Structure formats: structure tokens, C-alpha cells
Structure 1
Amino acid sequence: MSLSIRDVSPHELDSVLALNNAAGSTILPLDAAGLHTLYEQSSYFRLAEVDGHAAGFLSAMREDADYASPNYLWFRERYPQFAYIDRIVIAKPYRGLGLGRVFYADVTSYAETRVPLLACEVFLEPRDDVSVLFHGTWGFQEVGQQTMPSNGRRVSLLAKTLCSYPFVRDTYLAGPGLPDLPWLAERGRVAPGRPPVRAAGGA
């Protein structure tokens, strides 16, 4: 199996939209305009390819995004710096291969060089025990709950402290900045037509 994790390109948004809306009840549906907003506001928006086929994606954004999600806003009201995982989708044929852990290793690698906290939520109504267990074993802890006004579904707000961030902040962010390496690059810092491919977890 050949696996790559790379930034989503604009021409791939139709494929991402299809992945999102085929994911089932644990992922809120999107229309094209909503996906475009998500794409524009996300500081991390990456696609998993397995043997050349789109297998899933993960989007995350920083605390300064212009994003109206009530769960994102819950974190912005309480934490000055964070990366918020808005959604992760794995296509059904590729579930059970560990892509969720690959994505979480990669987004953690992105976040821990920029912010002290990684945040997300899981649905409690209906309760998604697979997601609850996954996040618990990944080191997330519940920091609150709320009911989403759009659909009345209750969610658990989760956060994980990124222990490496103080070292990165004191050694690099407060001084020379991050090294100019592909796996540390922000979106858009690559040559046109050549989306970056990096090993999962930022290695």
C-alpha cells in the first residue's frame, strides 16, 4: 500500500465534498460554499491518498479564523492559542487501515510547532463510542460540553496539551523562527502545481 498525506489543491474540492457528504451522521454535511469557506479558513487542510486514490481528509484552523462554527467559537472564547480540528473523514473502503492515527500524528506535528493546544469535539447524541475511545487513547480530555444550536446535538469539547510547544516557542518562535523545511511550511509556501508531500507525523 502506497500512502501520502499532502495539502488539498483547489481543483480537488469536488472530491473532498463528495468524501465529506458520504461520511454518514458523524460528520455534518457541507455544500460547495461551506467547503470553500472551510478551505479558505483552515491553516491545515490535507488529503490522504492510498495507491493514488483519495482516501480521506482532515481540516484544522487556528484561533484567528473567521469561522462561525459554535464548537470552534467555544474554544476561541476560552483559549488564546489553539489549533481546532474541524473534521476528519475517512472513506469507507479505507477505514480500519489506521489512517485516523496517521492524520492525527500529522496534524499534531503541525500544531505542536505553533500552538500549545489541539482541540476538537465528538458527538454525544448519538454517542460515537469509537470516536470517544480514539480521542481518549490519543490523549484528549473533555474540557466542556454544549448543545449545537443548529441541530440540537450534544457534543463533548476535547483538548490535548501539546507538551513540545514550550520548547519550540522558547527555542525557535521567540528567536529565529522555524527552520525552512517542507514539513514545517504553512499552506501556500510551495511552488505552483507542486503540493508538498511529507511523511506522516512530520518526519
Structure 2
Amino acid sequence: MTLVIRDVREHELDSVLALNNAVGPRILALDATRLQWFFTYASYFRVAEVDGVIAGFLIALRESSNYSSPNFRWFRERYPEFVYIDRIVIAEPYRGLGLGRIFYCDVTSYAEVRVPLLACEVFLEPRDDAAVLFHGTYGFNEVGQQLMDGVGRPVSLLAKTLCSFEFVRDTYLQAGSGELPDLPWLAERLHANPAQGLARASRG
């Protein structure tokens, strides 16, 4: 099996949309407009390609994103800097192979050189004990709960402190050029737009 984690390409958005909407109630449905917004503005939008087939994806955003999700807003009201995991989806034939952990390792690597906190949420109804256990064993702690506005389902709001960020901040972001080294694995997405302009996304 050949696995590649890489940035999504625009011509793959239809496949990503179908994958997202095939999951069911565990993930909120998307439409093409919302997915295009993520493609344009998400700081992190990568797919897992297994033997040439898209087997999953993960989307995450910085705190500066102009994103209307009530869960994202909950974190922005309480934390000055974070990367927020909006959704992760693994196609049915590829579940149980560890792709979720690989994605979380990759997004943690992205986040820990930029922010002190990685955030996400899991639905409490219907309760998914596998998701709760996964996040707990990956170092996330519950920092709150809320009834998701517009959806009416309770969520557990989770956060993980990124211990490496202090070193990166002191060594690179607040010293020298004030930037990360110019290395491919530290680069931002070409389509990411931190300024966000006036664009907004629907709740997700």
C-alpha cells in the first residue's frame, strides 16, 4: 500500500464532497459552495491518497478565519491562537488502518510550529465512543460542552496543548526574521488566505 498525505487539488473537490456526505450523521453535510470556501480559505486541507485513490481528508482553520461555525466561534471567544480541526473523514474501505492517527500526526506537525493549541469537537449525540477514546488517547481534554446552534446536537469541545510551540515561538517567530525556515514541510497552502476578506462559510 502506497500512502501520500498532500494538499487537496481543486479538481478533487467533487470526490471529497461525495466522501463527506456519505458518512452520515457523524459529520455535518456539505454542499459545493461550502467546500469551495474551505478550498480557498482553510489553512490545512489535505487528502490521504492510497494507491492513487482518495481515502480520506482533514480540514483545519486558523483562529483568524472568518468562519461562522458555532464551535469554531466558541474557541475564538476563549483562545487567542489555535488551529481548529473542522472535520476528518475516512472512506469506509480504509477505516481501521490508522489513517486517522496519521492525519492527526500531520495536522499536529502543521499546528505546533504556528500556535499553542489544537482544537476540535465530537458529537455527544449520537455518542461515538470510538471518537471520544481516539481523542482522549491522543492528548485532547474536554474544555467545554455546548448545544450546537442550528443543529440542536450537544458537542464536547476538545483542546490539546502543543508543547513544542513555545520553543518554536522563542527560537523563530519572535527572533531573527520572525518567520519559520523556508522548508517545504513548513510551507502554507497556496490557496490559504489568512486575511479572509469578507468571505464567510456556513455553519459546519
TM over 0.5, shorter chain: yes
CA distance in 1 between counterparts of 2:34 and 2:188 reads: 22
Counterparts of 1:146-161 in structure 2 under 5 Å? 146-161=146-161
Q: Cα distance, 1:41 vs. partner?
A: 2.3
Aligned to 1:198: none
Q: Which has the higher contact order (CA 8 A, sep 6+)?
A: 2
User: What's the TM-score, normalizing by structure 2?
Assistant: 0.91
Aligned to 2:110: 110
Counterparts of 1:181-196 in structure 2 under 5 Å? 181-188=183-190
SS for the counterpart of 1:187 is coil
5+ residue gaps, structure 2: 192-204
CA distance in 2 between counterparts of 1:44 and 1:151 reads: 25
SS for the counterpart of 2:106 is helix
The amino acid that maps onto 2:44 is: Y
Report Cα offsets for 1:57-104 as digits up to 9, x if no partner.
Answer: 000000010110000000001000000000000000000000000000
SS for the counterpart of 1:34 is helix
Counterparts of 1:1-203 in structure 2 under 5 Å? 1-175=1-175, 176=177, 177-188=179-190
User: What's the TM-score, normalizing by structure 1?
Assistant: 0.91
CA distance in 2 between counterparts of 1:124 and 1:46 reads: 26
CA distance in 2 between counterparts of 1:71 and 1:39 reads: 20
Q: Aligned pairs, how many?
A: 189
Q: Cα distance, 1:37 vs. partner?
A: 1.6
5+ residue gaps, structure 1: 190-203
Is the CA contact 1:41–1:67 (under 8 Å) kept in the aligned structure 2?
no
The amino acid that maps onto 1:28 is: L
**RMSD value over aligned CA atoms?**
0.9
SS for the counterpart of 1:38 is helix
Q: Cα distance, 1:24 vs. partner?
A: 1.8
